[in-house]
């Protein structure tokens, strides 16, 4: 009788020992990134287990919390961000080095650019949108408080003769305003009810702005550039919620983001879609750490990625190019 009891007991004990061993192996390698919103500051909590310290009463490891502050209006007065990873293993062998020299890998501009690319590739979304729709060539999220329905207001900066997104947004019953000073068109209303304006957006108002030559500008031009606040005042929209702000302005998005944050516009923006650009010759590589700070400030203000689309990348230091489309929802948005 006792031998029939003995063998199952031994099997159970062996199984318990194996599970305890596996649990400890998992715990001692645990690194959790918590994107918890904690207004007015957003902090990334890195939770590490430390097996070398006396275990806690909860489990076989002691948990240490390391807080990495993200620069922003509240967190830091400096425009530059220390080149620290979001996770401790962000700078391991998976860092995109692409066989560039060690001298290049040690530069601040390369580290900042590599961080941005790593975030684009490895953390493509912070929020899983359940109802995501493709409007033209941009995705929108139709979940809960971010749903887009009449009366809705959409601003779209950077058209390049492709009105597919703008036209589709009118089908959702929205008032849509499209802006692009590079197309040589005058103010008009399309047959889809889209309102077109030949002006650009920036971090300041400029009456005669001479743009750099690029894919869309082949000769000397003079543009009118306005801030979002100036545009909204001119259109009679001051104080209104913008259901979706789309910006694809070939590198000028960095200054626009800083303006929106510094002037308090983000709480009234439900969704923010934009294309990030790092061109070979612009912005200046010496500005990359500041751009990284700007990128993190947007997360600091409660904007969470629900979509990331990465363009072809070039990593030669002389032809360096990173571009990515990002769709954000504003976790700090409150219905009024």
Cβ neighbours of residue 34 closer than 8 Å, sequence gap 6 or more: 44, 45, 47
**pLDDT digit string (tens) for 58-70?**
333 322 223 233 3
> DSSP characters for 135-153?
ETTEEEE-SGGG---SSEE
Does pLDDT of 23 surpass 70?
no
94 in helix, strand or coil?
coil
**pLDDT digit string (tens) for 86-105?**
444 544 434 555 567 778 87
DSSP 286: G
Cβ neighbours of residue 131 closer than 8 Å, sequence gap 6 or more: 141, 142, 143, 147
Q: How far apart are CA 48 and CA 63, in angstroms?
A: 6
Cβ neighbours of residue 291 closer than 8 Å, sequence gap 6 or more: 112, 116, 254, 278, 283
Mean pLDDT computed over 264-268: 96
Beta partners for residue 134, in sequence order: 139
* Domain residue ranges of the chain, discontinuous segments joined by +: 1-69, 111-330
- Tokens 């649990």 appear where? 23
* pLDDT score of 234: 97
Half-sphere exposure of 140 (CA within 13 A, CB side): 22
**N- to C-terminal Cα separation, the chain:** 74
> DSSP characters for 20-84?
HHHHHHHHHT-EEEE----TT--EEEEEEEETTSPP-SSSSSEEEEEEEEPPSTTT-SSS-----
User: Domain 111-330 maps to which CATH number in 1.10.10, 1.10.12, 3.40.50, 2.120.10?
Assistant: 3.40.50
What percent of the chain shows pLDDT beyond 70? 68
- Tokens 């003995």 appear where? 6
User: Sign of dihedral through CA atoms 67, 68, 70, 76?
Assistant: positive
Peptide bond connecting 140 to the previous residue in cis, omega within 30 degrees of 0: no
What's the whole-model pTM score?
Answer: 0.72
What percent of the chain shows pLDDT beyond 90? 49
**pLDDT digit string (tens) for 182-194?**
999 999 999 999 9
């Amino acid at each position: 009788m006792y031998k029939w009891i003995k063998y199952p007991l031994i099997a159970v004990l062996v199984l318990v020992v194996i599970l305890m061993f596996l649990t400890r192996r998992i715990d001692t390698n645990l690194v959790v990134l918590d994107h918890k919103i904690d207004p007015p500051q957003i902090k990334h909590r890195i939770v590490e287990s430390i097996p070398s310290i006396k275990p806690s009463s909860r489990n076989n490891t002691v948990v240490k919390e390391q807080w990495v502050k993200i620069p922003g209006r509240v967190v830091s007065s400096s425009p530059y961000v220390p080149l620290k990873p979001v996770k401790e293993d962000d700078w391991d062998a998976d860092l995109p080095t692409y066989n560039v020299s060690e001298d290049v890998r040690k530069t601040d501009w390369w580290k900042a650019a590599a961080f941005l690319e790593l975030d684009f590739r490895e953390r493509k979304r912070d929020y899983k949108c359940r109802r995501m729709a493709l409007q033209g060539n941009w995705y929108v999220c139709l979940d809960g408080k971010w749903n887009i329905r009449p009366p809705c207001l959409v601003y779209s900066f950077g058209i390049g003769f492709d009105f597919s997104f703008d036209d589709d947004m009118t089908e959702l019953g929205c008032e849509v305003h499209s802006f692009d000073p590079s197309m040589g068109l005058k103010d008009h209303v399309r047959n889809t009810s889209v309102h077109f304006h030949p002006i650009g957006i920036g971090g300041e108002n400029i009456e005669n702005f001479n743009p750099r030559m690029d894919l869309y500008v082949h000769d000397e031009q003079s543009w009118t550039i306005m801030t979002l606040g100036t545009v909204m005042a001119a259109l009679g929209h001051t104080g209104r919620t913008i259901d979706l702000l789309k910006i694809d302005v070939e590198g000028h998005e960095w200054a626009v983001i800083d303006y929106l944050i510094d002037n308090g516009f983000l709480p009234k923006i439900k969704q923010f879609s934009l294309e990030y650009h790092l061109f070979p010759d612009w912005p200046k590589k010496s500005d990359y750490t500041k751009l990284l700070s700007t990128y993190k400030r947007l997360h600091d203000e409660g904007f969470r990625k629900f979509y990331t689309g990465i363009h072809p990348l070039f990593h030669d230091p002389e032809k360096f190019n990173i571009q990515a489309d990002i769709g954000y929802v504003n976790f700090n948005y409150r219905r009024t």
